[in-house]
Structure 1
Amino acid sequence: MEFILGAAAACSAGVLSNPMDVLKTRMQLQGELRAQGRYTVVYKNIVHAAIAVAKADGVLGLQKGLVAALWYQIVMNGIRFGLYRKVLDSGLISRKDGRVSTLGCVAAGAGVGILGGFVGSPLYLVKIHLQSQAAESIAVGHQHKHQGFVSAIVNIARKGGIRGLWRGSSSSIPRVGIGSASQLVAYSKSKDWLDQYGLYPHDSWQSTLCGAMSSGLIVSTCMSPFDVVATRLYNQGVNSQGQGLLYTGIKDCIIKVAKTEGLKGFYKGWSAIYFRIGPHSFFNLLFWDYYTNLYKNYSKQKI
């Protein structure tokens, strides 16, 4: 049931946050391995990017890769939130006074995030491919030209086999590990603090909003460099042997981005990441708490 609750919450939030995820992907791929000022700026900021996508690809272009994104949410966050709830309820990371241990949060959040990210890696790969596809006038990064979700899976598997579906999965380990740990730690600790001082009613939407938005800010800052690297590795084209055309791995990608794009290259699309993660975190955690409490109340009535 924890898996179902986590997946349902993630999908509910995913529908609302996917447009910002599309913009984030495009902005991260813009000017790939080129110094600032030596490439055409297609997307100036998230507002300009949204208008550009809507004009060139239509309003529905902002929901590209939605099917893959929702399936990824089901697998990744179903595992992540489901297992994290199990850990919280078990009391393994709680102190004697009932408060959650920071170190325990970090370990549990990173662990469940890495597991969920690895299992869902093929879906993340397809999501990136589909979100990066655009009309020629606003296209950035490698264009895979899939016809849809199923077509993408078939094409990738046909070229690289089952192993090809997990291409770039190594980059998901630091990305989801750091992202998951920072989000769940910041959310859990802020909720503890709010509950301790009684600023808002326990498990209210106000405490969820404060916890989610603060965690979104922290996650965006901590995860951005790893998110950029993951997007580049997942989206790059491959040769006939399935080897990347631009990067051989995480280390090679980091070195090349640092040399050509500098520190700013690792924070491309930061605003889009925050405005994707902030609201997504809020709605994800809000739905998670809501569905969990709904299930608990239903279980009590049934008894």
Structure 2
Amino acid sequence: MDFLMSGLAACGACVFTNPLEVVKTRMQLQGELKAPGTYQRHYRNVFHAFITIGKVDGLAALQKGLAPALLYQFLMNGIRLGTYSLAEARGYLHTAEGTLSPPRSAAAGALAGVMGAYLGSPIYMVKTHLQAQAASEIAVGHQYKHQIFPPQSWKVALVAAMVSGIAVVLAMTPFDVASTRLYNQPTDARGKGLMYRGILDALLQTARTEGIFGMYKGIGASYFRLGPHTILSLFFWDQLRTLYYTYTK
């Protein structure tokens, strides 16, 4: 569970910070191995870079490389934080007297970080290639032409649904847990709940008794349900609409 929660938490943050990663990548590649003043500066500063990318490449370009970025964050942080938590739970970070050992903590953190960075490095390379892709008039660095899926492939819609699902489940799972428990609680003769007075009471009781992770129980199942549910709903809606207009003409 530590691996899963660490990875999902990092992915949730990545959804919001990836545009800055795109800007950072392009500004770092700008003027590569060229003396100052000998090249055209497409991006003068971070704010100008945001505007330029959005205007020339489109707003969607600010999320370029999001899929490998999410995979990288999940893998690297899941391994890094999960491994460290595992070492702490097993007691490897404490001395024989039970006190926390700074050298052991540092060694465990370094080892966990190395493992995460090593395994995530190939994915980071793909992410960098995708984030550097730009229209010719604002291109910087070498332009790799990676294309994971054809533009009209159903896989594009599925990946988009799974990516957007990260933010959705992080925001909605506590309320989903509360609603499930409200529906499932025992009631008295008048149908009044015996455990919770309402949704806020359910959230507060869960957080106080089970901790913050208690509010995210079932998040894995929620996430892997949401993506396919979204794409299948849209697929069936499109098919039914096509059939309707075909036979009503």
**Structure 1 and Structure 2 fold alike (TM over 0.5):** yes
Aligned residue number for residue 275 of structure 1 = none
| 1:1-150 correspondence to structure 2 within 5 Å | 1-94=1-94, 101=102, 103-148=103-148
Question: What is the distance in 2 between the residues matched to 1:20 and 1:298?
Answer: 28
Please provide the CA RMSD for this pair: 2.6
For residue 108 of structure 1, report the CA deviation from its aligned partner. Answer: 1.9
Query: Aligned equivalents of 1:84 and 1:30: distance in 2?
Result: 37
Map of 2:213 onto structure 1? 295
Q: Report the CA distance between 1:294 and its aligned residue.
A: 3.0
CA displacement, residues 163-201 of structure 1 (integer Å, 9 cap, x when unaligned): xxxxxxxxxxxxxxxxxxxxxxxxxxxxxxxxxxxxxxx
Q: Tell me the distance in 2 between the aligned counterparts of 1:51 and 1:112.
A: 38
CA contact (8 A) 1:67 1:149 kept: no
Amino acid at match of 1:51: I
Deviation at 1:61, TM superposition (A): 0.8
User: 10-19 or 86-95: which moved more?
Assistant: 86-95
Aligned partners of 1:16 and 1:135: how far apart in 2? 23
Aligned to 2:222: none
Q: Deviations over 1:231-270 (max 9, x none)?
A: xxxxxxxxxxxxxxxxxxxxxxxxxxxxxxxxxxxxxxxx
- Cα distance in 2 between the residues matched to 1:110 and 1:149: 36
**Is contact 1:30-1:41 (8 Å) kept?**
yes
Deviations 1:104-131 (A, max 9, x none): 3432222111111221222111101100
CA distance in 2, matches of 1:70, 1:85: 21
Q: Name the count of aligned residue pairs.
A: 158
**1:167 match:** none
Identity rate, percent: 49
Supply the distance in 2 between the matched residues of 1:121 and 1:44 (Cα, whole angstroms).
Answer: 29
Q: Structure 2 CA distance, aligned partners of 1:30 and 1:19?
A: 17
Higher relative contact order (CA 8 A, sep 6+): 1
Which sections of structure 1, spanning at least 5 residues, go unmatched?
Answer: 152-291
Asked if the contact 1:65/1:149 (under 8 Å) is kept, the reply is no
SS of match in other structure, 2:147:
coil
